[in-house]
Amino acid sequence: MKNYEKIVNFVNKKNNVITIDDFKKAKIGFYYINKLIEDNYISRIGKGIYGRTDSFEDEYFIIQNRYKNAIFSYNTALFFLNKTDVTPNIIDITIPNDYNVSTINTKQIRVHYSNRENIELGVIKIKSPFGNAIKAYNLERTICDIVKNENKCGLDIEQRNKIIKNAFANNDIDGTTIIQYAKKLKCERKIRTIMEVMI
């Protein structure tokens, strides 16, 4: 039972969600995983993903574990960066343009695409609202995305303009970085036009 108590303590230290990789790294085998399930301590919430039954599911962490190449973007990234007053009712992710999306629930998730060359451009590691490590785009990349793809960003014109204006007015944007990103993402002219007005 001492081993089992140690495993329960290990699970308690995790933030709501435990992956099969977490169990493997801790050298916890399927016998104990199944025991935890039988005891209603954890439940399987996805392929290779388990959650404590007494806690809320971290949907952001689950999505990123299910779709390994997905990066939170657009309005969802703005939400994580505390740059929007609007709580997203749909989750924005960006994936490589050759990624198979057939398993993605498009009622819950809005899918955007990037070529492989730029998929990691502006990626940062942040904490989900439940404290788990996830990947999202930084503010410079997000501003480039919503400027370039204004009709697909999930924001109305007023929201978009307010976010862009505040980002520049509060000096949250690194000018050199955003121009570098804009060149790679082929929206440099639009970004420079905005910067001429804002700065």
Q: What is the pLDDT of residues 100-146, one digit of tens each?
A: 777 777 788 999 999 999 999 999 999 988 888 899 999 999 999 99
Q: Domains along the chain?
A: 2-57 (1.10.10), 60-198 (no CATH)
170 contact partners, CB below 8 Å, separation of at least 6: none
Average pLDDT rounded to a whole number, residues 8-32: 86
180 contact partners, CB below 8 Å, separation of at least 6: none
pTM across the whole model? 0.79
Residue 26's identity, in one-letter code, is: A
**For 35-65, how does the pLDDT look when each residue is reduced to its tens digit (9 = 90+)?**
888 888 888 877 788 888 777 778 898 888 8
Question: Is the per-residue pLDDT at 1 higher than 60?
Answer: no
187 contact partners, CB below 8 Å, separation of at least 6: 144, 147, 148
Instruction: Give the model's pLDDT for residue 184.
Output: 97
3-class SS of residue 103: coil
Question: Is the per-residue pLDDT at 14 higher than 60?
Answer: yes
Cα angle for residues 83, 85, 86 (degrees, 5° grid): 110
Q: Quote the radius of gyration of the chain (alpha carbons, Å).
A: 20
Question: Is the per-residue pLDDT at 2 higher than 70?
Answer: no
Percent of the chain with pLDDT over 90: 45
